Chain A
Amino acid sequence: MTILWFLFKEGFKGLIRSKYSGAFSIIIIAISIMLVGFGYVIARDTLFMVENIRAQFDVDIFIKQTASRDDIAAFDAKLKKMNEINHLIYISPEEAAQKFKNEFGEDIFDILDYNPLPPSFTISFKPIYRNLISVEAIANILQSDPVVDELKYRKNFLIILEKYHRIILFTVLGIFAVLTLISIILTSNSIKMTIFARQDIISTMKLIGATNRFIKIPFVIEGTLEGGLGSLVAALIIYGMFYLQNTYFQSFFDYTAIVSYRFYIALLILGTFLGWIGSRRAIRKFLH
């Protein structure tokens, strides 16, 4: 117990003894964790935005004017059974006429004396089917139904979206990975510098017969504390910045930062883990 208590105390005291190098290390870790935190939120919201655009994609199915009510009801039932469809709306000729009036400001009956607008369905797909291959396959099946007159969807929109979705996905994930890597390197190096500044302790401890474990434990505790404190600072800064954004700049940037408490806990765990692993790696270099 004496030894364990001594090593823990040494770890805590080490943080105080290291003064500037310890404080510098905490700042560097805080910056690194902020990079990862902001990187994550940017990546998440960008992908969410792209997914939202994809969710707006829909297909209009125009029904033949000759189709009876029973035919339409049967087709409606068929659509509802399709697993790929997320949402569907039936638009009757009357509703279509009303929509026309709302959009163009003129009554279709005043122009043509009759309603030429056919009944139609607007369908949207479940997320995994919002791609060109799936949509084309489903469109072909629906097109072959005898009640269907015409199918309309923005094929080019889908092609462009797919192309850019892939670019955005890889770019965002790439940036996130690079930021994480930078934070690991920064954290590890800043802890290494803290230990480097106190090499005399390591050489003295070796001379007096301390085992590698005895030398290592206080430095690992110190590094873990630095990681924990650095990530706590980062979490507080991020929280403060998001609070300011959501309170004062929300309308200016048209953006609301929404993160749960789990995000902050994850940052604390990440920082503490990086401190732990970074100090273990750094001390190993000085021991051998």
Chain B
Amino acid sequence: MISFINANCTFRKNAGVKNLNFSIDDGEFVFLTGPSGAGKSTILRLIYMDLFPEKGKVLIRDFDSTRIRDREIPFLRRKVGMIFQDYQLLKDRNVYQNIALALYASHYKTREIKSRVYSILNQVGLGHRVHHRPMELSGGEQQRVAIARALVKEPIVLLADEPTGNLDPRVSIELINLLNKINKKGTAVIVATHNYSLIQRVPGARLIQINEGEIISIT
């Protein structure tokens, strides 16, 4: 489903990734680990094509980084869900509106948007927080809203960039359990983290270790 073929990408001085070669299959759970600045986020950005390799290529299903046009990138991103350490929720909209926005952007009909949003909120355990604004929620709840927004359009893969970075250990475990549950339903999950204790929570997950932009090991 996702293939990195001799992918090189530098976007700042000495930062980026070098000669990446690996693949991720449908429904896999993958951890990208390594110290800060190792290139974990760069790999995620290459997947959702916020960055492009200078050499080699990245393939996500039919989308080829060397051939994709600017106007096709939104269609790729509708198949890729993303969550971040800072949640990236819109503070001037409530939970429902934040999630519905992803569906409006994908041209869903209002009736379907409504049923999908309520269904996904129940799945992430936030059915009672529909009309709350992000600032009225705890960090863990905000991250779950972000997950709901990423999942509502039924992506083929969910990318999580340091999703537990702002959460306490208990909420972090809850979140990783939720991601595991999502993965069990068939969505591939790629988590970039330097929190090794989380990795043990998902037995059977693949681990890609990176340092200074290079893959050290894949297990």
The yes or no answer to A6 lying at the interface (CB within 8 A) is: yes
User: B77: CB under 8 A from chain A?
Assistant: yes
**Within 8 Å of chain B (Cβ to Cβ): is A185?**
no
The verdict on A17 contacting B92 (CB below 8 Å), with A207-B48, A209-B78, A211-B74 known, is yes
Q: Is A205 an interface residue (CB 8 A)?
A: yes
Among B89, B91, B104, B109, the most chain A Cβ lie within 10 Å of the Cβ of: B104
> Is A200 interfacial (CB 8 A cutoff)?
yes
Total count of chain A residues near the partner, CB < 8 A: 17
With A3-B107, A201-B90 as given contacts, are A209 and B75 in contact (CB-CB < 8 Å)? Answer: yes
When distances are taken between beta carbons in the complex, the residues of chain A under 8 Å from B77 are 206-209
Q: Are A208's CB and B110's CB within 8 A?
A: no
Interface string of A204-230 (1 = CB under 8 A from B): 111111111010000000000000000
A208 touches B101 (CB 8 A): yes
Type the 1/0 row for A5-31, where 1 means its CB is closer than 8 Å to any CB of B.
010000000000100000000000000
Across the interface, name the chain A residue whose C-beta is closest to B150: A208
Answer whether residue A140 sits at the interface, using C-beta atoms and an 8 A cutoff.
no
Q: Does B185 contact A (CB under 8 A)?
A: no
Contact partners of A17 in chain B: CB under 8 A: 92
| Closest A residue, CB atoms, query B110 | A2
Give the bracket for the number of chain B residues in contact with chain A.
20 to 34
Query: With A and B bound together, what is the CA distance between A174 and B109 in angstroms?
Result: 53
**In the complex, what distance in Å separates the CA atom of A206 from the CA atom of B48?**
11
Say how far A260's CB is from chain B's closest CB, in angstroms: 42
Q: Return chain A residues, CB-CB under 8 Å to B110.
A: 2
- Decide yes or no whether A86 CB sits under 8 A from chain B: no
Q: Decide: A210 and B74 in contact? CB cutoff 8 A.
A: yes
Interface centre among A2, A208, A210, A212 (most CB of B within 10 A): A208
Q: Is A203 an interface residue (CB 8 A)?
A: yes
Evaluate contact between A207 and B104: CB separation under 8 angstroms: no
Chain B residues whose CB sits within 8 angstroms of the CB of A212 once the complex forms: 71, 74
Contact A209 B153 (CB under 8 A): yes
Are the C-beta atoms of A205 and B105 separated by less than 8 Å? Answer: yes
CA distance A13 to B84 in the complex (A): 26
Q: Which residues of B contact A214 (CB under 8 A)?
A: 74, 104-105
User: How would residues 79 to 105 of chain B score, 1 for a CB under 8 Å from any chain A CB and 0 otherwise?
Assistant: 000100000111110000000011011
Give bound CA distance, A209 to B88, whole Å: 14
Whether the Cβ atoms of A209 and B105 lie closer than 8 Å is yes
- Among candidates B48, B88, B104, B106, residue contacting A200 with C-beta atoms closer than 8 Å: B88
Question: Which of B76, B78, B90, B108 is in CB contact (< 8 Å) with A204?
Answer: B90
Contact of A209 among B90, B102, B109 (CB under 8 A): B102
Residues of A within 8 A of B (CB): 2-3, 6, 17, 200-201, 203-212, 214
Can you list 10 A-B pairs with a CB-CB distance of less than 8 A? A203-B88, A204-B101, A207-B82, A208-B102, A208-B149, A209-B74, A210-B74, A210-B105, A211-B71, A214-B104
